[in-house]
Amino acid sequence: MGKEVWIGRVKVRPAAGNDIFDGAPGAFANALTSADSLRDYRLRVETAFAHERLSVAEVDDAEPLRERMSRVHVSDEIVELGGKLVMAAWSGTPSTFSTQTTLTDVALASFRNAGAADA
């Protein structure tokens, strides 16, 4: 199978000394990246977050974006990010764009701080 845009709900925790979430124990984000499998998706997401001194605690509901779009409504923001990933792949340019932070080859939508109960 070839690469395509994948989406998943990713829970991240900051490394010691990283106060990116203003004291919150972690955050959730819809992360999109080009991948050819669940394993590839997770590896790319973990690598991207590691560059920001964040560790991936959980990956939920990861799947190709086209599958998600065939079942449920996907926000315009996510569709736009997916389109940018596809265009970047076709043009050979790095896909470093995001609505919240810059992560190489991963686009993020809807960061939400995790409460203590979510951590």
| Structural domain harbouring 95 | 4-114
Is residue 80 one of the residues assigned to a domain? yes
CA dihedral for 76, 82, 88, 90, sign (positive or negative): negative
Local structure of residue 66 (DSSP, 8 states): H
Is residue 12 one of the residues assigned to a domain? yes
**Encoded tokens for 49:** 């977050």
**One-letter amino acid for residue 72 of the chain:** V
The residue with tokens 């190709």 is 64
Is residue 105 one of the residues assigned to a domain? yes
Give the pLDDT of residue 58.
92
Is residue 50 one of the residues assigned to a domain? yes
Is residue 97 one of the residues assigned to a domain? yes
Is residue 119 one of the residues assigned to a domain? no
- Mean pLDDT by groups of 10 residues along the chain of 119 residues: 85 87 83 90 88 90 93 86 72 40 46 50
Give the pLDDT of residue 70.
93
Give how many domains the chain has, as a whole number.
1
**Encoded tokens for 116:** 């203590």
Contacting residues for 79 by C-beta, under 8 A, at least 6 apart: 69
Question: What gap in Å lies between CA 36 and CA 27, rounded to an integer?
Answer: 25
Is residue 107 one of the residues assigned to a domain? yes
